Structure 1
Amino acid sequence: MLEDVKIGDSIAVNGVCLTVTAFGDGVFTADVMAETLAKTNLRDLRPGSKVNLERALRLGDRLGGHLVSGHVDGVGTIAGLEKHDIATLVTIKAPPQVMKYIIKKGSVAIDGTSLTVVDFHQEKFRVSLIPHTAQATVLGSKKIGDTVNLEADILGKYIERLLQAREEQPAQNSKLSPEFLSAHGFL
């Protein structure tokens, strides 16, 4: 993973984008601000904690997940784990600033792992882990009560901002409206 790393590169740790400040022999160092610790579950890590690591996407690479930036929207809590055939259904209690972007069959990053939402309710949503995902990520070792970093797909955030801007200053002759977005499956 660190074979071509350089100082200044981005590496996501449990979905939190961090900047490499030093590296060597299979390890890297990153500075973590108080704001990052306050708004993510990195504060819960201890020496030896398992984490998900992911390098930044390079232009031209395949996009196999969804669009996230490593800027966590909120911290959720594992509220339920249920075996269902070969899969594990994971229920996550999430804050309102995340839940407003959650849709059935939509995407969400949990500790940096891109997953599809199975269903949702007012304060919770569920995802399903196949055995490979449970083994290859930290999600497979999480227990009820554990915290997870949550990030919604950035497309929903851009749509929300465009609609806010339109309300603040309506564009003349624009065809972009809540009705248009709804009719075309965006809302």
Structure 2
Amino acid sequence: MFTGLIEEIGKLKRSFKQGEAMLIIIEASRVLKGVMIGDSISVNGVCLTVTAFDGSSFTVDVMPQTYRHSNLKDIRPGESVNLERAMQAGGRFGGHIVQGHVDGIGKIISRTNDANAVVFTIRPHDGKLMRYVIPQGSVTLDGISLTVVAADHDSFMVSIIPHTLKETALQHKGPGGEINVECDVLGKYVDHLLHFKGGGDDAGEDKGKPESGSKLTAAFLAENGFF
């Protein structure tokens, strides 16, 4: 698990592709402190496992599922990536719960200045992701924990403070760029509970026959202060 607070900007050193599988080597320094084979490091918001490392870089594998649903396949040698080590128990929780499981890719529609902030407008390729994006809620973009400031039916906006822009690879992105999007896991669980229809129980019911679904409803959540 991660918090969405980027520790450093790394650079892609080399990548090797075979179909939809990849091996990538990333130059880094801070995230290498105490690193061990098997550790998890978030690369542009994607949780990846360290398979090799030396004093200035680490190696990870990218499987087809990750290849298809993230922007890692489009990164070229020399490009910057956001890096964060997995959260330690007892550490500060400065962002929000980030799994490193990217839901899809979004396109940057605009980048505008707003006093000392920079506002990005993002449109997910998969419009279904917008059901999990709400104003003042959390969203992860290329591994960065951010707050949604506005949202409509097909896009949303985030406002970036100067420090975040300076300390992340987002500083290099603008309109037309693509960015990894991970929606708030809490919203995804609530949505699943509201709509899931399971099979039979262990008492001999036909497991192929759907049940009526969860008794957890939007009305119940509203009555109990969740909305």
TM-score by length of 1: 0.92
Match of 1:91 in 2: 121
The separation in 2 between residues aligned to 1:170 and 1:131, in whole angstroms, is 46
2:81 aligned counterpart, secondary structure:
coil
The answer on 1:26 being equivalent to 2:56 is yes
- Cα deviation, 1:3-24, whole Å, max 9, x if unaligned, reads 1111111001000010000011
| Unpaired segments ≥5 residues, structure 2 | 1-30, 199-210
Match of 1:182 in 2: 222
1:126 aligned counterpart, secondary structure:
strand
Match of 2:85 in 1: 55
Segment drifting more, 13-22 vs 95-104: 95-104
- Give the paired residue count: 184
1:122 aligned counterpart, secondary structure:
coil
- Cα deviation, 1:73-132, whole Å, max 9, x if unaligned, reads 010000001101010110001122321100000000000000000001111100001100
The separation in 2 between residues aligned to 1:143 and 1:88, in whole angstroms, is 11
1:162 to 189, 193, 196: 193
User: Partner letter of residue 13 of structure 1?
Assistant: V
Residues 110, 151 of structure 1: 8 Å contact kept: yes
Residues 97, 184 of structure 2: 8 Å contact kept: yes
Deviation of 1:26 (Å): 2.2
User: Partner letter of residue 156 of structure 1?
Assistant: G
Higher gyration radius (CA): 2
Match of 2:39 in 1: 9
* CA RMSD of superposed structures (Å): 1.7
Match of 1:122 in 2: 153
The answer on 1:131 being equivalent to 2:162 is yes
| Unpaired segments ≥5 residues, structure 1 | none
Following TM superposition, the consecutive aligned residue runs of length 4 or more in structure 1 with deviations greater than 6 angstroms are none
Instruction: Return closer, same or farther for 1:103/1:26 CA change in 2, 3 Å cut-off.
Output: same
Segment drifting more, 177-186 vs 78-87: 177-186
TM-score by length of 2: 0.76
